[in-house]
Amino acid sequence: MDIYKSKVGRVCEPMKTDFIQHEFEAPAKGKVLIKVVASAICGSDLHIFKGKHPSVSLPSTIGHEFSGDVAAVGEGVTKVKVGERVTVEPCIVCGKCDACRHGDYGYCENISFTYRNGDGAMADYVLVDADYVYTLPDYLTYETGALIEPMSVATHAVRRADIRLGETVLVIGAGAIGMLVAAICRKNGAGEVIVADFSDARLDMAKQLGATMTINSGKQDLEAEISRLTNGKGVDKSFECVGLQATFLQAMMTLKRNGTATVIGIFENPQITIPASRFVTHEIHVQGAQGYCWDFPIALKLAREIDLSKLVTHTFPLDDLQTALETCLDRNSGSIKVILKP
């Protein structure tokens, strides 16, 4: 029986990584073993690295944005073949709760993610369920294929927000998710897509991907600027892609009456204070967006029209995981998406 030896990166304590060893035998029924070729660092990985992810305790393996080659398949797997280039939707759902039985697996009562079960993709190999494996089309490289996961997060958020033709949209936070949200909003027909961030370099990239206007929140008062641009009405839809009380408030307070804010950011400090009366006086809607549900196939098609390669700024060998994570946290590094390669 073949044995596949895999080095797996994890965060062992705040701001410190190490590697552990896994050994995989031939995949069981319905499983697929993937040889990782490219694995991207996600914002949630950074929250884990700092020891401040609200849903993950340390030590924890990391990595769930990845692509690679099918190394072996278990009995009954027909969706993919050995040698195929693939990416993976890294969620784990029970298939038995009411949400799953209704097809809304994104609301699974027992939802988890592969890295939380030890199958982190900062590794040589990763074992996954065949149902969540997707073949990479020819127009995607391994590097851009690894970004289908964040693309799916953005797709899910935009679908939840129900962006309509001609609407004015504000995206707060020009990280990878924020930029992709902006790009997809434009594809959905938004008339104006305004992106706010503190980094001029990131704002320039947001323009390349679809933003019609940008605001540097460190140099301008965001709420005042939105009021000026919309003649005091506010935006139709907003997206919070940071995870701070200040940006949550901005997403609320810049909405027009009956507008909708979609919150995507992960809050390291989840207890925040908000002006509750705004919900009544302006009848605004605030909703969350986590992960994906039937969004991967849509994201794969959208990736034909959105140049994901623009987001990739750094590439490191897997052995340099510590340096790669530190680079992501360094505001002077110019990093947007950092790729690790085993």
> Do 135 and 19 share a structural domain?
yes
Residue 116's pLDDT is what? 85
Report the number of distinct structural domains present in the chain.
2
> Do 228 and 318 share a structural domain?
no
| Nearest by Cα to 120 from 324, 326, 318 | 318
| Nearest by Cα to 43 from 314, 338, 289, 341 | 338
Domain holding 195: CATH number?
3.40.50.720
Within-domain flag for 314: yes
Residue 115's pLDDT is what? 86
> Do 8 and 143 share a structural domain?
yes
Within-domain flag for 236: yes
State which residues form the domain around 16.
4-147+303-341
Contacting residues for 182 by C-beta, under 8 A, at least 6 apart: 169, 171, 174, 193, 195, 206, 209, 210, 211
> Do 71 and 113 share a structural domain?
yes
At residue 335, the 3 state secondary structure works out as: coil
Domain holding 71: CATH number?
3.90.180.10
> Do 143 and 159 share a structural domain?
no
User: 331-341: per-residue pLDDT in tens?
Assistant: 999 999 999 99
User: 105-116: per-residue pLDDT in tens?
Assistant: 999 999 999 888
Within-domain flag for 293: no
> Do 98 and 32 share a structural domain?
yes
The b/e string for 287-310 (b: 16+ C-beta within 10 A; e otherwise) is eebebbbebbebbbebbeebebee
1 token code pair = 């029986």
Contacting residues for 95 by C-beta, under 8 A, at least 6 apart: 101, 105
Bridge partners, 216 (sequence order): 197
Percent of the chain with pLDDT over 70: 100
294 to 110, 149, 266, 309: CA distances (angstroms): 17, 12, 22, 24
Residue 55's pLDDT is what? 86
| Binned average pLDDT, 10 residues per bin, the chain of 342 residues | 91 97 94 98 94 92 97 96 97 95 95 88 96 97 98 98 98 97 97 97 96 97 98 98 97 98 95 96 97 96 96 98 97 95 96
Within-domain flag for 143: yes
Within-domain flag for 295: no
Within-domain flag for 296: no
Residue 1's pLDDT is what? 66
> Do 158 and 139 share a structural domain?
no
User: 304-340: per-residue pLDDT in tens?
Assistant: 999 999 999 999 999 999 999 999 999 999 999 999 9
Residue 157's pLDDT is what? 98
> Do 158 and 143 share a structural domain?
no
> Do 219 and 278 share a structural domain?
yes
Within-domain flag for 297: no
> Do 139 and 89 share a structural domain?
yes
> Do 184 and 318 share a structural domain?
no
Residue 117's pLDDT is what? 82
> Do 261 and 191 share a structural domain?
yes
